[in-house]
Amino acid sequence: MRIEPDVGGQAVATLLDGKATKDAIFAELEPRVSALAEQDVVPGLATVLVGDDPASQNYVRSKHRDCAAVGVRSISRELPGDVSQAELEAVIDELNADPACSGYIVQLPLPGHIDTGAVLARIDPAKDADGLAPSSLGRLVLGEPGPLPCTPRGIIELLRRYDIPLAGAHVAVVGRGITVGRALGLLLTRKSENATVTLCHTGTRDVAAETRRADIVVAAAGVPHLITPDHVKSGAAVLDVGVSRVDGVLTGDVAPGVADVAAHLSPNPGGVGPMTRAMLLTNVVEAAERARGQVLAGRGA
Ligand SMILES: Nc1nc(=O)c2c([nH]1)NC[C@@H]1CN(c3ccc(C(=O)N[C@@H](CCC(=O)O)C(=O)O)cc3)C=[N+]21
């Protein structure tokens, strides 16, 4: 699929279609879920949602829709915005102990009075569907196997499925948040990806100079239309991850004219968001497969 040019005659980027790719990944998960079902295992994803932010409620709803589409059981825990640390941690303990829950996520951000780090540290690493628990991030730094953060994993999977090479490529990541930028830098510099990464942030002197040298630009700063055409080398791949609300309209980090300069563009919406959800479901199915394998190993099977 191609994005329509706004001016005639200019090169227009090929769309990196996260929605279609998510559907393909879901279709690949279905036989794995069926194989587990034959062994009487139904993977279960739980979501923990605190407060009544409409955007968070929306995300969580779509995760439950995804579960239904793939055959994963979904478990929902909704807590009031004034929940105490102890009450929230009790829910975490419950999910850690619940055999029906293969993996779960605690929807972020949590209210300011909650110690988010303490909550994430309490997640059983075997059930960390987000890959955001400190032990999972530690494993990523150490190069040990473990659940990977969904958005960075989704970005790499999207590039892979469109045959955009990473080995030797120069990737400029804009944004150092834990869920996207920081973790993506760690994934991309593994031997298996072998990319060279420039991690830009608010302290970067000249972001445009860094991104212009890059084969791939990942915009995850949360600054509306930060990346303009003059930030992008002709023929680069650009992925729009940031999302902000401007006058009620969801606005990405990538300005519209970039489609005339880039060779590939992952839009927002329709790009990395659906890939994040695809990787969440993948992490849950993998967690259920691992748990099943351990049961079999424990029996000497
Ligand atoms: N513990 C935790 N894990 C998360 O993964 C997490 C989180 N907290 N907090 C909030 C962010 C945001 N996030 C999105 C996921 C999918 C879309 C998505 O699929 N968006 C669609 C459009 C919206 C829709 O159709 O629902 C798209 O981009 O096409 C968006 C945003 C996950 N997050």
The domain ranges of the chain are 43-124, 149-273
Q: What is the percentage of the chain residues whose pLDDT exceeds 70?
A: 96
Judge whether 102 and 287 are in contact, CB under 8 Å. Answer: yes
> Nearest C-alpha to atom 27 of ligand 1 is from which residue?
269
Residue 223 has pLDDT above 80, yes or no: yes
Which CATH code fits 149-273?
A: 3.40.50.720
Residue 11 has pLDDT above 90, yes or no: no
Q: Which residues pair with 196 in a beta bridge?
A: 170
Q: Which residues pair with 165 in a beta bridge?
A: none
> Nearest C-alpha to atom 22 of ligand 1 is from which residue?
269
Q: For residue 301, what pLDDT band results from cuts at 50, 70 and 90? A: low
Residue 161 has pLDDT above 70, yes or no: yes
At 89-136, the pLDDT tens digits run 999 999 999 999 999 999 999 999 999 999 999 999 999 999 999 999
Burial class (CB in 10 A: 0-12, 13-18, 19+), 259: buried
Which CATH code fits 43-124?
A: 3.40.50.10860
Q: Indicate whether residue 199 lines ligand 1 (CB < 6 A).
A: no
Q: What pLDDT does 4 receive?
A: 53
At 196-206, the pLDDT tens digits run 999 999 999 99
Residue 84 has pLDDT above 60, yes or no: yes
State the Cα–Cα distance between residues 256 and 227, nearest whole angstrom: 9
Atom of ligand 1 nearest to the CA of 272: 28
Q: Which residues participate in catalysis according to the annotation?
A: 63, 107, 130
Atom of ligand 1 nearest to the CA of 55: 10
What ipTM was predicted for this assembly? 0.96
> Nearest C-alpha to atom 30 of ligand 1 is from which residue?
273
> According to the annotation, is 176 in a ligand binding site?
yes
Q: Indicate whether residue 91 lines ligand 1 (CB < 6 A).
A: no
Contacts of 11 (CB under 8 A, 6+ apart): 234, 260, 261, 263
Q: For residue 27, what pLDDT band results from cuts at 50, 70 and 90? A: very high
pTM of the model: 0.95
State the Cα–Cα distance between residues 5 and 272, nearest whole angstrom: 22
**Element of type H or E holding 66:** helix 54-70
